[in-house]
Amino acid sequence: MFGSAVRTGFCYWATDPMDNPHYDRFLFDYYQITGALPQTTTAAPLKDPALTRHVLGLFNLYRTTTNRFSVLSRAHLNQIHTAFSPEELLGVELILQGKEAQTAKAMVGRARERKEKRRGANKDGAIAFLERNHTTIACVSGFLVNMRQGRLRLVTPVPGSDRWPLGYPHSG
């Protein structure tokens, strides 16, 4: 259906890939069908280190797309470096997103809800560090395919707002 564009896909949206204990098997099947290994971005590489190593092993085997770890704090970064060797992290881009980082989490979704609660409690200053230029969690434009529900949507990033609180247009 998508032709060669399927080779640019990724296999997660609104959940962490490491939440699926069989994610590595899905990636392998995807590779067998498309000839490409989709990118994996996870904020939970330590949730199941064996699963993470299997995913990284697929990258080492097929050398297609660099994976990414969202690093949520300096402590998280230290834990990642303790758990994984430099060789294991060779195909991983570390995306620093903690409050110590140069980039911040987007002001959308739960972060936006927390901000509104704190604003209502006159605690704006406690979350000011989140107010940077990062406006959406969506970093792609394209088709969002939900195989389980048999649903296809077109998505694109937009700044988080009252209309689009998640940082991308959505239905429901």
Which DSSP string corresponds to the chain?
--GGGGGG-BS-SSS-GGGSTTHHHHHHHHHHHHSSPPB-EES-TTTSHHHHHHHHHHHHHH--S-EEEEE-SHHHHHHHHHHS-TTTTTTEEEEE-STTSSS---S-HHHHHHHHHHHHTT-GGGGGGG-SS---S----EEEEETTTTEEEEE------SS-TTSS----
Looking at residue 129, its pLDDT comes to 46
pLDDT for res 151 = 87
CA distance 111 to 154: 24
Residue 92 CB-density burial (10 A; 0-12 exposed, 13-18 middle, 19+ buried): buried
What is the C-alpha separation between 172 and 170, in angstroms, rounded?
Answer: 7
Using the predicted structure, report yes or no on whether residue 62 has a pLDDT greater than 90. Answer: no
Instruction: Output 21 or 11, whichever has higher pLDDT.
Output: 21
pLDDT of 136 > 70? The answer is: no
CA dihedral of residues 84, 46, 91, 94 (deg, nearest 10): -100
Cβ atoms within 10 Å, residue 21: 11
Q: What letter represents residue 68's amino acid? A: R
- The whole-number pLDDT of residue 154 equals 82
Mean pLDDT value of segment 19-40:
92
